[in-house]
Amino acid sequence: MTTPEIKALISLLDDPELAPQIRGEIENLGEAIIPFLEESWEETLDPQQQQRLEDLIHQLQFEGVQQRLRVWRDTGGQDLLEGMWLLNSYQYPDADLQALNRAIEQLRFECWTLMKPEMHPADQVQVLNHVIFRAHKFAANTQNFHSPANSMLHRVLETKRGNPLSLCVIYLLVARRLHLPVFGVNLPNLFVLTYRPAELPLTFYINCYNRGVVLSRADIEHYVGQLGVTSQESFYEPCSHLDIVRRALRNLQVGFEKLQEPAKAEEVGQLLAILLEQDSE
């Protein structure tokens, strides 16, 4: 469609009788039409029309996130940064994947300058702890634990405050770029990392919510015992990137529920369902 044709189509949203049909035609055009909808929003002074345009823009953006999340899932969910960016783009459609990549790369470079080839794994972890938690002062957001911002990677990188999962994701992304055998571990009420080299009988855990403190398996067993839940081997084993983004979506859903925003919580639930579809097949 030409620009004049698109603008004429959007103008028909003002007609109550035609609006449902026109909305369907606009939705078929996809996200490419969003700039024209935004331009129309700026040009109208009618609050009701502005709300209709806002709702339509959001619907198109949400459908775009759903589509990209399915593609990410179907291609194996290998790129954790991309998965977290997709979650990020639900609330912040203009979030820049390359900006996230540059921020992670800067942290990796700073760690790399302090790394030595002969370093013991414990010393490697201390380098990451120094750069992430001391130099850059990333820390737990204990005052607003359930805030949706804690699940938004670009907000965590900006504010330096996050929940256990988002802090672990940043740490994990940096560690893997340094070729360290670090993986995520799903615990009840907590997310941690494990350092697990393939060639050495050495395994320990890293609690990023407590500034990278190193834990043993016995520490994890004690934690699980205190919760009074039945121990599972999955509490001690690496999880997939798909598992990590699923958990991030659950955290985000709870955050919106705590804020009494049921519509957003429902939409996040729809995104989560996309990543759970494989489990039900």
Whether residues 205 and 254 share a domain: the answer is: yes
Does an H or E element contain 190, and which? strand 190-195
Tokens linked to 279: 């489990």
Indicate the number of domains in the chain.
2
Whether residues 46 and 122 share a domain: the answer is: no
Give the residue-averaged pLDDT of 196-212.
Answer: 89
Q: Which residue has the tokens 């097949």?
A: 281
pLDDT tens digits, one per residue of 62-88: 999 999 999 999 999 999 999 999 999
Whether residues 224 and 110 share a domain: the answer is: yes
Domain boundary residue, one of 74, 89, 113:
74
pLDDT tens digits, one per residue of 150-196: 999 999 999 999 999 999 999 999 999 999 999 999 999 999 999 99
pLDDT given at position 281: 45
Whether residues 92 and 185 share a domain: the answer is: yes
pLDDT given at position 226: 94
Whether residues 39 and 108 share a domain: the answer is: no
Q: How far apart are CA 247 and CA 225, in angstroms?
A: 22
Q: Which of 164, 144, 162, 146 is nearest to 154 (CA)?
A: 162
The alpha carbons of the chain give a radius of gyration, in whole angstroms, of 22
Which residues, in sequence order, are bridge partners of residue 194? Answer: 183, 205
Q: pTM of the entire structure?
A: 0.89
Domain boundary residue, one of 74, 109, 137:
74
Which residues, in sequence order, are bridge partners of residue 139? Answer: 161
Supply the range of the domain harboring residue 69: 3-74
Which residues, in sequence order, are bridge partners of residue 191? Answer: 186
Q: How far apart are CA 61 and CA 219, in angstroms?
A: 44
Domain boundary residue, one of 52, 74, 96:
74
Whether residues 124 and 228 share a domain: the answer is: yes
Strand-by-strand arrangement of the 204-207 sheet: 182-187, 190-195, 204-207, 213-215
Whether residues 30 and 165 share a domain: the answer is: no
Task: Judge whether residue 29 has pLDDT over 90.
Answer: no
CB atoms within 10 A of CB 55: 11
Angle between helix 164-177 and 121-129 (nearest 10): 120
pLDDT tens digits, one per residue of 116-133: 988 999 999 999 999 999
